[in-house]
Amino acid sequence: MTAGELNKITIKVEPPGPKAKEILERDKKYMATTNKVMPVVARRGQGMYVEDVDGNVYLDFQSGIAVNNTGHCHPKVVEAVRKQVGELIHFPGILLSQNLEGEVAEKLNEITPGSFDKKVYFMCSGAGAIDSAIKVARWSTGRPRNIAFMGAFHGKSIGALSLTASKNAYRKGFMPEMPGVVHVPYAYCYRCPYKMEYPECDVYCAKVIDEMYLEKFIPPEEVAAIFVEPIQGEGGYIVPPTAWHKEVKRICEKYGILFVADEVQSGFGRTGKWFAIENFDIVPDIMVVAKGIASGMPMSACIFNEKYDIKQPGAHATTFGGNPVACAAALATIEAIKEEKMLENASKQGEYMIGRLNEMKEKYEMVGDVRGIGLMTAIEIVKDKKSKTPDMETRNKICMDAMKRGLLVLFCGASSIRVIPALNVTRSQVDTAMEMLEKEIKANTK
């Protein structure tokens, strides 16, 4: 099968097939314990499809967990990487210079929110970029504390882990974490922690940060930053009201606290804008991006108002940050998104897909909620609409059954399914995915 033939779902053997089983057994023996939830062993990918080692071809609506935003092996990205590998693979930007990292930083200055000049730290992972943001905020404010949100996922390094609050399993056994972090409830309107209803609540879940937390037991003059996912990712693809974001930003400005937007999963076009925070008309002080920035190459960035720059050479950097090959991929990614109008397509196809998901919500008792912007979408599976009781077992079965039939979707939150195709997905591919997903929902209806 040639690369050009990866254009339709083909299931030759129920996954995991014999070759996949061999590889999974080897990995189990030699690799540290991880959380590989689906027995798909990929061999290659092209566009919206991925082929496993047994010849099964899947329609990929996981996008590598929102990494392959331009699809698998986009020709422009592949060509840029091939060319760069033949010229320069590595040069230590921590001590010396090469042209591409500055070029990417300039492009990021152009497309990120804010008319002010920005500085950039390049890292290799989302967690690394979050750690950069922690250091920038701490250095520039001289303050030791941070605020993050329940349900948040910011990474698993010790610094980033201190902000993460999506699963006990991530934190268990790793105390002490970085001190000085307080978690407050996120604006999860479908499951409001305060048992209120929007908009009558007047975004109490944001105002309580000022009226209770900062008033009673967190000295605001000691808080460096509030870390915010514009749309909460692993927590369940939760879209907060615009008024919530604006109130959090108001609180930040009131006390001189920096607003850090974690765009690791939501950034680079997924919502139909370059960055999800733009949907809420907020300009962050610091922004963290990764995943989709380089179409699968390990690259991340911490971007911030230049006035917060750490004015101490060598205080922060990494050997592989700004790697030339990753930078070439990032530049090609930006060009491909612009030239192929992927932002517009993400908005168009996302609106259509959310419409299809809402039709399922009307038809099936188990579909409790549909939410998302652009192609950052999810449905929440529940026991019934009245109780809203999470139904993780049924959610998992739907995802696994869909995988066995050739559609890859992904878990998140208490019982949600994230549906996140690449930004260049076609209407036909959306229709195919929606038909397959609805078939599994219907089959699992009790």
How do residues 392-422 score in pLDDT, each as one tens digit? 999 999 999 999 999 999 999 999 999 999 9
Contacts of 144 (CB under 8 A, 6+ apart): 138, 179, 180, 222, 224
**Are 320 and 371 contained in the same domain?**
no
Whether residue 322 is found in the same domain as residue 365? no
What pTM was estimated for this model as a whole? Answer: 0.95
Burial call 122-149: b when 16+ CB within 10 Å, e when fewer: bbbbbbbbbbbbbbbbbbbbebebbbbb
| Residues 415 and 290 grouped into a single domain | no
pLDDT of residue 170: 86
Could you tell me if 319 and 364 lie in one domain? no
CATH number, domain containing residue 114: 3.40.640.10
**Which letter, b or e, does each residue of 230-269 get, where b requires 16 or more Cβ atoms within 10 Å of its Cβ?**
bbbbbbbbbbbbebbbebbbebbeebebbbbbbbbbbbbb
Residue-level pLDDT at 152: 96
Q: Which helix (H) or strand (E) holds 136?
A: helix 126-141
Q: In percent, how much of the chain has pLDDT > 90? A: 90
- 7 or 302: which carries more pLDDT confidence? 302
- Residue 153's pLDDT band, with cuts at 50, 70 and 90, is very high
108-119 tens-digit pLDDT: 999 999 999 999
Which tens digits make up the pLDDT trace of 367-384?
Answer: 999 999 999 999 999 999
Whether 181 and 289 share a structural domain:
yes
Q: Is the dihedral of CA 123, 137, 213, 219 positive or negative?
A: positive
pLDDT (average), residues 195-199: 96
Domain residue limits at 118: 79-339
Give the pLDDT confidence of 323-360 residue by residue, as tens digits.
Answer: 999 999 999 999 999 999 999 999 999 999 999 999 99
Residue 96 banded pLDDT, cuts 50, 70, 90: low
Identify whether residues 258 and 166 lie together within a single domain: yes
> Looking at residues 139-151, what average pLDDT do you find?
97
Residue with tokens 């230049």: 306
Which of 316, 339, 362 is the endpoint of a domain? 339
pLDDT at 35 (0 to 100): 78
3-state DSSP: the chain helix, strand, coil percent, rounded to 5? 40, 15, 40
- Look at residue 167 and tell me whether its pLDDT is greater than 80: yes
Given 281, 309, 339, the domain boundary residue is 339
Other CB atoms within 10 A of residue 185 CB: 17
- Domain shared by 329 and 353, yes or no: no
pLDDT band per the 50, 70, 90 thresholds, residue 1: very low
| End-to-end alpha carbon distance in the chain | 40
Beta strands in 150-257 (DSSP E): 181-184, 223-228
Q: Are residues 172 and 282 in the same domain?
A: yes
Q: The CATH number of the domain where 383 resides is what? A: 3.90.1150.10
139 and 213 both lie in a single domain:
yes
Residue 4 has pLDDT above 70, yes or no: no
Interval 49-90: pLDDT, tens: 999 999 999 999 999 999 999 999 999 999 999 999 999 999
Distance CA 167, CA 339 (A): 39
Total of domains in the chain: 2
pLDDT digits (tens, 9 = 90+) for 99-138: 899 999 999 999 999 999 999 999 999 999 999 999 999 9
Residues 53 and 63 in one domain: yes
Is the domain of 140 the same as that of 215?
yes
Q: And the tokens for 255?
A: 């006390």
Position 34 scores a pLDDT of 81
CA distance 133 to 163: 12
CA angle at 48 for the pair 21 and 356, rounded to the nearest 5°: 110
Tell me the average pLDDT of the chain. 95
196-223 average pLDDT score: 97
Q: Are residues 279 and 403 in the same domain?
A: no
Q: Check the CA dihedral 365-369-373-375 and report its sign.
A: negative
Given 339, 354, 384, the domain boundary residue is 339
The per-residue pLDDT for 101 is 94
pLDDT computed for residue 21 by the predictor: 96
